[in-house]
Chains A and B, each alone.
Chain A
Amino acid sequence: MTPSKTLDGNSHDSGPLFFRDRDWHPAAYTPGYKTSMTRAPHRALVALSSTLSEQTGPAFGHDMIGERDNNLIVNFTGQPAIGERIIMHGRVLDENGRGIPDVLVEIWQANAGGRYRHKKDGYLAPLDPNFGGCGRTISGPDGSYEFLTVRPGAYPWPNHVNNWRPMHIHVSVFGTGFGQRLITQMYFEGDPLIAKCPIVNTIGQQKAIEALVAPLDMNRAIPMDCLAYRFDIVLRGRRQSFFENRKEGM
């Protein structure tokens, strides 16, 4: 297997997807997270190798992104949001370690006090009039992306009596195939609530949990301006060999 080079420059856009390691992902039925109990399928998934329906996926142009779409500090009203200013940055990669260019990354989060701008959120912490809580960007040629935002606060949620979500940013990412579609959450280095969270602990393996914890990145922080956290996102890889995935073979 030679994952580093492709002959036509884009055959990696349509090759079969690596199989998902479903012991690494959270299981569907995770009673510690109560809502999963009635929303988890009981029957086994029907497993098949990916087809063209999963190997292809929507494409997004850089032209659809507004200038302030990845700046959550000012993209709601133009006035700055209150909170700890941070850069969230990283790369979108596949399991072969290649950056994936031109893919859409979307994020959403609570404000610095842990309050979401959503009609269903009744937490007593106030809304920030200048914070909407969503951002989007398209990855660069090496798969890199960045957002400017405020660090979200922890917040309570009705699961067990006294459950609090760690500080987190929701991340939605596309690859080049619909079967790579992924939503996850980014947590922050050193947060003591991470280990106590039933949603974090839907993931069984400690190493997998650590893959969602972003380290503080002082090299990317801007002095007298903002701190930075680095969060790489890895999507399913694609198989490629000379014996499959040749354009003329389709």
Chain B
Amino acid sequence: MQRLDYLKESPSQTAGPYVHIGLTPNKLGNDGIYPVDLGESPVSDGAKGRPITIIGTVRDGAGMILRDALIESWQADADGIFPGHDPRGKADPNVSGWARIIADFDSGEWMLKTIMPGRVPFHDGRPMAPHVSLWVVARGINLGLQTRIYFEGEDNESCPVLQRIEHRDRVRTLIAKRTGDGEYRFDIVLQGENETVFFDL
């Protein structure tokens, strides 16, 4: 038989408790190496779309808030086009789409200020509901967890990705709650009751 000569993906390892040294050195206080930390904001002034702020925490299976979590977010612009390599065209030049967010060292709360993303097509062309993709790493997480923030008040019922979640009562774990005008709350629960849906995408 011939051999399939694909390489294997490098196996993941935990980011560990000191991930900030490498990825957010200025926020840690190790300034002077890089002028600014990367991923400060996914949008710059003049970005089209509705400004939104999302605040949340990451909790473990014992209900403890993680203070060493790092989250990265990725989203489309207001028209649903991704910056960079989107084959459908060029995105809003004021949207980079990507942010790197750390939990506050004391409270464990994290915050993302961005714009409401537009709808992006699923494989079959049906629009997915507006969402922000998240990748969560921390001490004790061996492989980064993929999840998505959807938004209360948007048309989430028709989203082909949310429709694929068999346990319907779990869909709500992906929908950020409106707490004010353009303000949302999204708490991530790693394990146990109200466990957030994580994806293999």
Chain A residues within 8 Å of B, Cβ to Cβ: 10-11, 13-14, 18-22, 24-28, 30, 33, 35-43, 45-60, 64, 66, 69, 75-77, 93-97, 104, 106-108, 116-121, 132-134, 136, 170, 172, 176-179, 181-185, 199-200, 202-203, 207-209, 211-212, 233-237, 247, 250
A26 lies within 8 A of B200 (CB): no
Chain A neighbourhood of B11, CB < 8 A = 24-26, 184, 203, 208-209, 211-212
Could you tell me the distance in whole angstroms from the C-beta of A205 to the nearest C-beta in chain B? 8
B142 lies within 8 A of A33 (CB): yes
A57 lies within 8 A of B142 (CB): no
Assuming the contacts A41-B191, A134-B21, asked whether A26 and B10 have C-beta atoms less than 8 A apart, the reply is no
Number of interface residues of B (CB under 8 A): 84
The 4 nearest A-B residue pairs measured at CB:
A108-B22, A35-B140, A58-B98, A39-B140
Assuming the contacts A50-B201, A237-B6, asked whether A184 and B13 have C-beta atoms less than 8 A apart, the reply is yes
Nearest chain B residue, comparing its CB with the CB of A93: B7
Could you tell me the distance in whole angstroms from the C-beta of B136 to the nearest C-beta in chain A? 10
B85 lies within 8 A of A176 (CB): yes
Q: What is the bound-complex CA distance between A133 and B18, given in angstroms?
A: 11
Nearest chain B residue, comparing its CB with the CB of A77: B32
Assuming the contacts A33-B140, A48-B164, A107-B22, asked whether A95 and B30 have C-beta atoms less than 8 A apart, the reply is no
Chain A neighbourhood of B122, CB < 8 A = 51
Q: What is the bound-complex CA distance between A116 and B122, given in angstroms?
A: 44
Chain A neighbourhood of B66, CB < 8 A = 39
Q: What is the bound-complex CA distance between A54 and B32, given in angstroms?
A: 33
- Tell me which residues from 10 to 26 in chain B have a Cβ below 8 Å from any Cβ of chain A: 10-23, 25
Nearest chain A residue, comparing its CB with the CB of B141: A39
Q: What is the bound-complex CA distance between A117 and B196, given in angstroms?
A: 33
Q: What is the bound-complex CA distance between A18 and B9, given in angstroms?
A: 10
- Tell me which residues from 89 to 104 in chain B have a Cβ below 8 Å from any Cβ of chain A: 96-98
Chain B neighbourhood of A26, CB < 8 A = 11-13, 142-143
Chain A neighbourhood of B46, CB < 8 A = none
A53 lies within 8 A of B139 (CB): no
Nearest chain B residue, comparing its CB with the CB of A28: B142
Q: What is the bound-complex CA distance between A118 and B200, given in angstroms?
A: 32
Which residue in A45, A118, A181 is a CB contact (below 8 Å) of B28? Answer: A118
Q: What is the bound-complex CA distance between A110 and B161, given in angstroms?
A: 41
User: Which of B47-55, B56-64, B177-185 is the contact stretch?
Assistant: B56-64
Chain A neighbourhood of B158, CB < 8 A = none
A48 lies within 8 A of B200 (CB): yes
Assuming the contacts A42-B191, A45-B199, asked whether A25 and B7 have C-beta atoms less than 8 A apart, the reply is no
Residue among B20, B72, B96, B201 with the highest chain A CB neighbour number at 10 A: B201
Extra inter-chain contacts (14) besides given A41-B196, A66-B35, CB under 8 Å? A39-B190, A45-B198, A45-B199, A48-B164, A51-B161, A58-B84, A59-B85, A76-B32, A116-B18, A118-B21, A119-B105, A132-B21, A134-B33, A183-B144
B9 lies within 8 A of A95 (CB): yes
Assuming the contacts A95-B8, A182-B9, asked whether A51 and B144 have C-beta atoms less than 8 A apart, the reply is no
CB pairs A–B below 8 angstroms (30 shown) = A13-B87, A22-B200, A24-B8, A24-B9, A26-B13, A35-B140, A37-B61, A41-B191, A43-B197, A47-B201, A48-B200, A51-B122, A51-B128, A53-B128, A58-B39, A59-B83, A60-B38, A69-B34, A77-B32, A117-B21, A118-B17, A118-B20, A132-B32, A133-B21, A178-B135, A179-B201, A181-B72, A181-B144, A182-B9, A199-B13
